[in-house]
Every structure is written in C-alpha cells, then in structure tokens.
C-alpha cells in the first residue's frame, strides 16, 4: 500500500478467518520509507504524459516486488498471494480515469506468487468513483464502530446509513496539504501538529476553504491530487498568512468538515469513531476534531493506526481471489456491486 502522503510502502502479512463473522490478525507489518528519489518521482508522476507512466509503472513494480520479497524472506513467511493497491497517479473518475502504478505482472514475476492489483479501474468503468474501497472492510471487520475515519492524504469516512447500506466518501484533504506546508519549513511533516499549534486561525482563509463547492456536493464523491492542485493549493498560495497560521487554519478546516458530517447524522446509543491513518498521530488535529465532534473519538493500537489500509487491501484481495463482491455500489455510485481487481500469475 502506497498512499498519497508518500510516507512509504506499507507491507502487512495478515491472516483471515471466516466464521459467523470475519476475523483478522496482522502478524507482521513494516513500512519501507521512500528515499528522496522515489518520493520526488512519485510526487511528480501525475505531471507526466500517459506514455511516460508506463515506464514508471514497471519500475515501481520492480521496487514493490523486491521489497515484498525481502519482507517475505526476512520474516520467513509463506503467503498465498500478494494484494497490492499500488500508488495512485491519476484519479479523475468523472472522466473515467484512475491509474495506480506498480505493475502487477512485474511483482508476480519477482515474488513468484499470484498478485491482485488494480482494484479501482473496474468500478470506474461501471460509472463509479473507484473510491473509497475500504468501507466494505469497515463493515465486515469493524462493525462495532459507528464511523470509521481514515486520516491519510485525504480524510474519508465510512458508516452504515439509516437503511443499513454502507456509505463512504472523501471529506477533505489532510496530510497532502499539511505535509506540503511542513515542507516549506524544511520538515517532512508536522509532528504531533506542533507547527499548527503555534499558529492562529486566519478566519478569511478558513471561510474561503470552507466555501469550496466540493463540500456541498452529495456523495458518492472522491478526491485526488489533481483536485487539490486545482482547488485547494491556489487558495493557500494566494493568501499572505504565515505557514504556521495556514497550518492552524487548515487543521481547523479539516476539523470543521469532519464534525459537520458526523454531527448531522443521528445514531442511537453512544456513537464512536475509529480513527486510523497517519493523521491520527497529529495530536493537535485530533484535539480539534474531538472538540468539535459529538461522537467519541477512538484511537486504536499503533499497528491498526498504521497498517489498517494495508490489511484492508489484503482482505479485498481475498474476496477477489474467491470472486466475491469487494466493491459496493452504495459507496462508489457504480451501476452494480463488483469483484474488483486484476489477478496476475508468474
């Protein structure tokens, strides 16, 4: 799993058991941090021509294959197959486009194992958003929580609506923007939200961010880097606030958008939000979301926070290998549920 935050390649060795309810365990997990060359290459890939992406696709497939093989050998494990999300380069479902690089056939050839990948394109071909894909996993493995909130490059939320149908969508950018602001100060990311905590809310900037039309559109909906480059960064770039004030204002914006969603839903009992993803370590951001949100925020163990998405795509891979539904039309807006992902064998 490689996310838009560009933290690195997440690898998890998981086991799943199906009884009355699906159960999982993450046995081993680690992140291979990207060096500057790979981080720059992945960050700039969306600017390349489509013809140039094919070379990066194979090159990144080799990188994934070698790292996964090393992980397998180091841990002395014998996986049944590899499930790979890859790295998203283009995501414009309204134009029928979504591209995740990390060629499956290359990974399979290196590791000599079946590979499931390219989970999103089939759903997009069916008229869906191709995202988010983890909500079915949330429904089957984390049903004890009212909401499942992932704070990665983007914030996305998953929950069952009043008819028991799983609903999920991207809410707003998170680490993609906060990391970019931290980079301006020579830091990789805003550790614990200390940069934002030193700033002050710029209410004019906050108002402009909250007025972005996407937030008023109804789901299904999803976000990509292209959207951030066109709609979010220009607002920040054209504002004269300090980096600290921008970070503080963006954190407030994120908290406001998340709270607006979770506070407008009515659930009986004591609603809880499971929070995972790198943003869960941003203590200042979590503090602001908790302050504005009515449901209780639950931060699980470090392994779940860091590797829930990697585990989720392993689970989606199992469903695909068994030709079972792993993408819900209620989430993506596609014409029908589907079993997404291409299978490659060495």
DSSP 304-336: HHHHHHHHHHHHHHHHHHTT---B-HHHH--SS
Q: How far is CA 242 from CA 239, 246, 247, in A?
A: 9, 6, 9
Domain match, 107 and 145 both? no
Distance of CA 322 to the CA centre of its chain: 24
252 within 8 A of 206, measured Cβ to Cβ: yes
> Comparing C-alpha atoms, which of 103, 58, 111 is closest to residue 80?
111
The predicted pLDDT at position 3 comes to 86
Question: Can you tell me which residue has the tokens 């906060």?
Answer: 178
Domain match, 190 and 231 both? yes
Domain match, 216 and 285 both? yes
Please indicate, yes or no, if residue 154 is contained in any of the structural domains.
yes
Pairing state between β 87-92 and 272-276: unpaired
Domain match, 153 and 264 both? yes
Report cis status (omega within 30 of 0) of the bond before 62: no
Domain match, 202 and 167 both? yes
Q: Name every residue whose Cβ is closer than 8 Å to that of residue 308 and which is 6 or more positions away in sequence.
A: 134, 150, 276, 277
In order along its 346 residues, the chain shows pLDDT tens digits of: 998 888 899 999 999 999 999 999 999 999 999 999 999 999 999 889 878 999 999 999 999 999 999 999 999 999 999 999 999 999 999 999 999 999 999 999 999 999 999 999 999 999 999 999 999 999 999 999 999 999 999 999 999 988 889 999 999 999 999 999 999 999 999 999 999 999 999 999 999 999 999 999 999 999 999 999 999 999 999 999 999 999 999 999 999 999 999 998 877 778 999 999 999 999 999 999 999 999 999 999 999 999 999 999 999 999 999 999 999 999 999 999 999 999 999 8
Please indicate, yes or no, if residue 3 is contained in any of the structural domains.
no
Domain match, 163 and 107 both? no
DSSP 98-166: EEEES-HHHHHHHHTS-EEE--SHHHHHTTS-----THHHHHHH-TTSSEEEEESSEEEEEEE-TTS-E
Domain match, 151 and 238 both? yes
Please indicate, yes or no, if residue 312 is contained in any of the structural domains.
no
Question: Can you tell me which residue has the tokens 């869906």?
Answer: 128
d(CA 156, CA 49): 29
Domain match, 42 and 184 both? no
The predicted pLDDT at position 127 comes to 97
The DSSP element (H or E) to which 5 belongs, if any, is none
CATH number of the domain within which 284 lies: 3.30.420.40
The predicted pLDDT at position 273 comes to 96
d(CA 335, CA 126): 6
Please indicate, yes or no, if residue 319 is contained in any of the structural domains.
no
Please indicate, yes or no, if residue 156 is contained in any of the structural domains.
yes
Please indicate, yes or no, if residue 232 is contained in any of the structural domains.
yes
Please indicate, yes or no, if residue 317 is contained in any of the structural domains.
no
Please indicate, yes or no, if residue 314 is contained in any of the structural domains.
no
> Comparing C-alpha atoms, which of 203, 209, 221, 147 is closest to residue 177?
209
Residue 52 belongs to what domain range? 8-130+332-344
**Token pair recorded at residue 161:** 């609506």
Domain match, 100 and 194 both? no
Strands (E), the chain: 8-18, 22-33, 82-83, 87-92, 97-101, 115-117, 147-151, 154-160, 166-173, 272-276, 296-298, 342-344
Domain match, 155 and 172 both? yes
Domain match, 248 and 298 both? yes
**pTM for the full predicted model:** 0.93
- Total tally of structural domains belonging to the chain: 2
Domain match, 188 and 230 both? yes
Q: How far apart are the first and last CA of the chain?
A: 21
């Amino acid at each position: 799993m490689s996310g838009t935050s560009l933290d690195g390649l997440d690898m998890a060795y998981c086991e799943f058991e199906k009884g009355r309810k699906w159960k999982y365990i993450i046995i081993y997990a680690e992140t291979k941090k990207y060096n500057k060359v790979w981080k720059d290459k992945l960050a700039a890939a969306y600017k390349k021509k489509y013809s140039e992406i094919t070379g990066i696709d194979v090159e990144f497939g080799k990188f994934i294959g070698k790292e996964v093989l090393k992980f397998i050998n180091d841990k002395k494990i014998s996986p049944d197959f590899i499930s790979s999300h890859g790295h998203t380069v283009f995501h414009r479902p309204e134009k029928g486009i979504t591209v995740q690089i990390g060629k499956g056939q290359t990974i399979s050839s290196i590791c000599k194992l079946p590979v499931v990948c390219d989970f999103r394109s089939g759903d997009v071909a069916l008229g869906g958003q191709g995202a988010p894909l983890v909500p079915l996993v949330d429904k089957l493995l984390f049903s004890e929580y009212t909401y499942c909130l992932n704070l990665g490059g983007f914030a996305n939320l998953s929950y069952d609506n009043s008819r028991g149908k799983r609903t999920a969508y991207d809410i707003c950018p998170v680490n993609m923007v906060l990391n970019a602001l931290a980079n301006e100060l020579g830091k990789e990311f805003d550790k614990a939200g200390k940069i934002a905590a030193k700033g002050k809310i710029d209410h004019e900037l906050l108002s402009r961010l909250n007025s972005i039309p996407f937030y008023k559109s109804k789901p299904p909906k999803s976000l990509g880097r292209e959207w951030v480059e066109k709609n979010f960064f220009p607002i920040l770039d054209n504002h004269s606030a300090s980096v600290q004030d921008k970070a503080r204002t963006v954190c407030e914006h994120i908290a406001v958008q998340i709270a607006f969603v979770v506070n407008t839903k009515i659930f009986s009992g004591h609603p809880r939000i499971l929070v995972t993803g790198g943003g869960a370590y941003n203590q200042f951001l979590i503090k602001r979301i908790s302050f504005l949100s009515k449901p209780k925020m639950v931060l699980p163990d470090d392994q779940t926070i860091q590797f829930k998405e990697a585990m989720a795509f392993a689970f989606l891979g199992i469903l695909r290998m068994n030709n079972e539904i792993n993408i819900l039309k209620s989430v993506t807006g596609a014409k029908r549920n589907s079993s997404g992902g291409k299978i490659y064998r060495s």
